[in-house]
Amino acid sequence: MLVKDVMHGRAVAIDPNETLPSAAVMMEELGVKRLPVMQGGRVVGLLTDGEIKRKLPHVSEGLSAWDFAVQAGRVRVREAMRMPVLTLTPETPLASAVQTMLERRVGGLPVVDEDGELRGMLTLTDVLRRASESPNPAWGTAGEHMSREVVSVAAEDPANEGAARLTVSRLRVLPLLSGCKLLRLLHKK
């Protein structure tokens, strides 16, 4: 299977001179977590929601809404984007693309043709969606792959305990338990 068989061909790009608030609004409206950055018809970087969060002023700085907006509006995409950007081609074997994404710890990469023109994006969600459409019996059962040591938080624990466990474990989701019963999931935002 190749990247072109799984990628989504609709990729919206952003200019490196746009502001981070504009990029954040675009990502929110499109429901995406990353945007290819294009300049002169070429992909020159990749902007993720994580980079935006790291570059925007912190709420803990005690800024007024006005000062926050002013400071945030001064930060450009070019100051936050990842570069050089790693790209894939439509003809890249999917297994190779997934291995690259796992090794680089990235959730998605732009797909460009031989001329460097943006053709789409491949995300781990795309890969999982395709895998769920045609499960491979050789994968076995979920129980064979699940974690045996579960990191969780009890419903009666303070919220900062849950936040600390999310941070230390480097997980994005923790089960919130009452005894052995799953109540909800605690998400890192």
Q: Which residues are CB-contacts of 111 (< 8 A; sequence separation ≥ 6)?
A: 3, 4, 7, 11, 87, 88, 89, 90, 118, 119, 120, 121, 122
Q: What is the DSSP letter of 76?
A: B
Instruction: Using alpha carbons, list the distances in angstroms from residue 68 to 58, 78, 132, 148.
Output: 9, 19, 42, 44
Provide the whole-model pTM. 0.68
Residue with tokens 């299977």: 1
Cα angle 105, 73, 41 (rounded to 5 degrees) comes to 60
For 123-177, what is each residue's pLDDT tens digit? 999 998 888 887 666 667 777 777 777 888 888 988 888 888 888 887 888 888 9
